[in-house]
Structure 1
Amino acid sequence: MGVASQDLATKSIKSLLIKQSVPASIGILFMSVNVLVDTIFVGRWIGSLAIAAISVVMPLTFFISSLGMAIGIGGSSVLSRALGSGDKDKANNTFAHQIIMTFIISAIAVAAGLVFSDQVLYAFGAAGDIKEPAGQFYFPVLIAVPFQAFCMMGNNVIRAEDKAKHAMIAMILSAITNLVCDVLFIKILGWGLFGSGLATATSFFVCFLYVLWFFIYRSELKVKLRHFVWHTKLAGEILSLSFVTFARQGVISILAIILNHTLFAQGGEHAVTVYGIISRMLMFMLFPVLGITQGFMPIAGYNYGAENYGRVRKTINTALLYAGGLAIVVFAVILIFARPIVSIFTTDAEVIKDTPGALRWVFAASPIIAVQLIGAAYFQAAGKATKALLLTLTKQGFFLIPLILILPHFFGIFGVWISFPIADVMSTLVTGIFLKKEMSNHLTDAT
């Protein structure tokens, strides 16, 4: 096995978590800033309706590209444990299978998205005045989704090799490309939402080129033609763990459909725009917590594969401490600066008036979300697909979607916003119970 991946079994947990999480956090930060600035450009250069159009399309295209992320995370769990046990050949076979699955599945999804574009856009909430601008953004982004899928898959494999800096660079290059192309296509050339979509598509391609370069010249994985021979058992292991992430993204997409239709029914295009800003902030403000979660997985997976259960337990505790502290800071920033944050996105007085209160409610339970995120990530890293799936689906699937379907009937649009913290609290309680039991019963060996 490579020297870099061996470090996961020997170096201090704190230094490993920092080494893995800081690049992951910076990469997510750049991607989040990219989404934020993109939204600001679109809102100010095109109009607030354009924010609603992007909010409808992005969950759809992200769902398709996240097929690659699902295969990346699921396969990397297999890959990390293979590296941990010293089985380099299985690691190479796993990566080869990830490549095959990513391109086949994403290509099929894109073809379906093109053939059934009208039906799909309507399903995701492209109604009223949102429909036409949503279509302008949709097509260029959809065509480039296979490149993004490969980037998402590759990013997780790079982190599994303990080379998180390269994963960070890939995300930074993508973000910078998108912002530069935004200025060129929207501001200078005046191509509107089509230009915004083309900028996003170009950023996907640049990210793809960097990830491809990494695997050719820098990766310790050396895939040969023989590794591309299909192994049903290995493919089943990858898919069973990938299904956890895929199911989560599928539920998030269903949530987006329900949210967009509920918001449109409660407050028209205006309400969809409000949530468009909130959804950007959810991704941006939680970047350090998500970075720790991503940094945690290869450390936990490698040591679980090596049967270093004491280190796995310590990794969980350290990740919870860091992620929990950062989540509290995030909550404080949102609580204090909600209105100034919202005013950056738009000059629309009604949006500025209605969004800060909704933003505070959506983030109300953020101080405790680390338990849910780290707990679900542990079971996936350890290869326990069923528990990982159940815990991953608790917030959006078991709690948030039913709450959004029920509460607005009694509380109007406020019922949508209050659903988020209630779902956070309930899912954290469930995950905490599972995680505590697992640590007491299975992660007790001292190392």
Structure 2
Amino acid sequence: MDKQQKLAEGKVWSVIASLAIPTVIITLVMVIYNMADVFFIGKTGDVNMINAISVCMPIFPIIQAFGTLIGAGGCTAISVALGQKDVEKSKKISSFCFYFCVVVGILMALILNIFTDPIISMLGAAQSYRSYAVLYLRFLAIGCPVMMFSNGFVNIMRADGSMKEPMIANLSGTITNIILDPIFILVFNMGVVGAAVATVLGNLLSSVILARLLKGKSNYISVNPKDVSLSFDTAIHPMLLGLPIASGTLLMSVSYMVINNLLLAVSPDAQGAFGISRSIMLLSTTTQLGICMGVQPAVSFNYGRGNIGRVKEFIKKTTIVCMTFGLLIALICIGGRDFLLKAFIDDPSIIGYGRQILIGCFITAPIYAVYQSSVTFLQATDRAITSTIITIMRQGLILIPAMIVLNILFGFNGLIFCFAVVDVVGAITGIIALSRHLSMKSKACNKVKELSSAS
């Protein structure tokens, strides 16, 4: 059974496992990758360096947002095109995605280097560690083009159900970064500069491996400039499909900037505690996203074929997996929060703040799974605008005001539970929208079949 036949006819649990497990491995390694800089900087014992990296964390989601915009959107568009057996359209989409990554990556590198000082101020950096934050951001910015490409095309290469190739590329770069971190930070005493350089080199290796692996996908993926098309179907539509996840990632970055500025009024150590807690929280949120994105090609492929019953089955079972994982990881991380925090840095002040923050981060982890499943599969079934609206509502229209209001009413204690509030609202809204969309689509497909049978 070939890959596309497996998406169409394979046993649902078997397909979910084959698609989700490699993606989860990738995302878990990505979590370790995100933790690595903070972890090894923590081993220097310098709280200012920890706080500097923590305050710069919102820059990563911005870079990832643009990579996800073109990666998740391109993957969905190509999966649907393959389901419709339109190979030429697939090549045009992939070619546009490649040059989008190159151009936007270069622009981001320039912007982050030219406007470093105002960006650092906007992030909420305290004067005590500002110089470290500037150094970290300047060196990190150099890697924007390769970070964009590796993030985007790891997703695009999954469009036909392939998991091995993107996993190899992702793991190679991430493991390289993890190996280089202690060498640059602790052996060569490069501090935050070493952390940034290790990140850039890891992404560079991933990009080189991806570029080589793309040759084996030339039957439906192209990087030839002659195939670039700026039409709605091959350029705008893929970006619209990627907009829900990308906008959520981007708005999450904005929310991190807001909470960093609010935490600065509490203590710079509260910022550092939030940075560590956020890294730990990625164990849950990134893995849940990985499970959903892993199954997304199967959902998009069957949606393109009009098999809505199979689409519903994939979504239901994937959501159950995500919720179960969310519950288990919440119990582990809340119960073992002291151990987890001390693994990064043994500082009483940071650990004190972190113990409270982690409860707020994980208390609604199973509910977050419902939200993530809803917005991912709305996007995967060509309802990008609906998914984007829900994402913007959760990540911006509700989360940021919730931060401000809860901070005013309850101070630090209110601030740490703002994520739990928006998880509940996002999950309820998302599941209602997805259920209505699939119900209407199912009725439409049944009507088409009835008319076809009658004729």
- Whether these two folds match at TM > 0.5 is yes
Q: Do 2:322 and 2:366's aligned partners in 1 also have CA atoms closer than 8 Å?
A: no
Deviates more, 1:413-422 or 1:213-222: 213-222
Question: How far does the alpha carbon of each residue in 1:184-239 deviate from its partner, in whole angstroms, 9 at most, with x for none?
Answer: 21111111111111111111101111111110235542424531244355212122
Deviation of the 1:426 alpha carbon: 1.3
Does 1:30 pair with 2:29?
A: yes
1:249 is the counterpart of 2:262: no
1:245, CA displacement in angstroms?
A: 3.1
Q: Deviations over 1:156-195 (max 9, x none)?
A: 1111121112222222112211121112211111111111
**How far 1:417 moved relative to its partner?**
0.6
- String of CA shifts for 1:286-327, please: whole Å, max 9, x gaps: 444222111121111111111111111111111111111111
- Paired with 2:161 and 2:347, the residues of 1 have a C-alpha distance of 45
Say if 1:157 and 1:233 are closer, same or farther in 2 by CA, change over 3 A. closer
Q: What is aligned with 2:422? A: 423
Structure-2 residue corresponding to 1:388: 387
Q: Distance in 1 between matches of 2:160 and 2:140?
A: 30
Alignment length, in residue pairs?
445
Counterpart residue number, 1:85: 84
> In structure 2, what is the Cα distance between the partners aligned to 1:35 and 1:141?
13
Q: Distance in 1 between matches of 2:362 and 2:394?
A: 14
Q: Please state whether the residue corresponding to 1:171 is helix, strand or coil.
A: helix
User: Which deviates further from its counterpart, 388-397 or 148-157?
Assistant: 388-397
Structure 1 residue runs of 4+, over 4 Å off? 444-447
Aligned to 2:264: 264
1:330 maps to what in 2?
Answer: 329
**Structure 1 position 251, deviation (Å):** 0.9
1:221 aligns with 2:223: no
The aligned amino acid for 1:157 is: I
Inter-partner Cα distance in structure 2 for 1:141 and 1:277: 19
Q: Structure 1 37/100 Cα, relative in aligned 2: closer, same or farther at 3 Å?
A: closer
User: Residues 61 and 142 of structure 1 are in contact (CA less than 8 Å); yes or no, is this contact kept in structure 2?
Assistant: no
Alignment check: 8 A CA contact 1:66 1:152 kept: no
TM-score, length-scaled by structure 2: 0.93
- Does residue 189 (structure 1) correspond to residue 192 (structure 2)? The answer is no
In 2, the alpha carbon distance for the partners of 1:220 and 1:14 equals: 29
Q: Which amino acid aligns with 2:163?
A: A
Question: Cα 1:233–1:172, aligned 2, differ >3 Å: closer, same or farther?
Answer: closer
| SS in structure 2 at match of 1:443 | helix
Give the aligned partner of residue 127 of structure 1: 126
User: 2:259 aligned with 1:294, yes or no?
Assistant: no
Could you tell me how far apart the structure 2 residues matched to 1:33 and 1:253 are?
A: 19
Aligned residue in 2 for 1:5? 4
- Which secondary structure does the structure 1 equivalent of 2:36 belong to? helix
In structure 2, the CA distance between the partners of 1:313 and 1:285, relative to structure 1 (3 Å rule), is: closer
Spell out the pairing of 1:361-440 with structure 2 (5 A cutoff).
361-440=360-439
Work out the CA distance in 1 between the residues paired with 2:366 and 2:158: 26
Tell me what 2:176 maps to.
177
Question: Aligned in 2, Cα 1:279/1:410: closer, same or farther, shift over 3 Å?
Answer: same
Q: Is the 8 A contact 2:3 2:162 kept in 1?
A: yes
Say if 1:66 and 1:46 are closer, same or farther in 2 by CA, change over 3 A: farther
Matches of 1:126 and 1:195, distance apart in 2: 20
1:107 aligns with 2:103: no
One-letter amino acid matched to 1:62:
P
SS in 2 for 1:221: coil
Task: Report the CA distance between 1:395 and its aligned residue.
Answer: 2.4
Q: 1:222 to 1:398 in 2, by over 3 A?
A: closer
AA matched with 1:393? I
Question: How far apart, in 2, do the equivalents of 1:399 and 1:163 lie?
Answer: 37
1:234 aligns with 2:234: yes
Mapped to 1, the partners of 2:108 and 2:35 lie a distance apart of 27
Unaligned runs of 5+ in 2: 450-455
Distance 1:426 1:62, change over 3 A: closer
| In 2, Cα distance between equivalents of 1:317 and 1:33 | 29
1:429 maps to amino acid: I
1:173–1:219: structure 2 CA closer, same or farther, 3 Å change rule? farther
Structural mapping, 1:334-353, within 5 Å: 334-353=333-352
Scaled by the length of structure 1, the TM-score of the pair is 0.95
Task: Tell me how far 1:58 sits from its aligned partner.
Answer: 2.7
2: CA distance between counterparts of 1:289 and 1:39? 22
Q: Say whether the 8 Å CA contact 2:65–2:247 is kept in structure 1.
A: no
- Distance in 1 (CA, whole Å) between partners of 2:311 and 2:428 is 21
Partner of 1:75: 74
Alignment RMSD: 1.9
| SS across alignment from 1:254 | helix
Letter in 2 for 1:202: L
- Look up the equivalent residue of 2:82 and give its one-letter code: L
- Shift in Å at residue 61 of structure 1? 3.9
Aligned CA distance change for structure 1 residues 325 and 73 (closer, same or farther; 3 Å): same
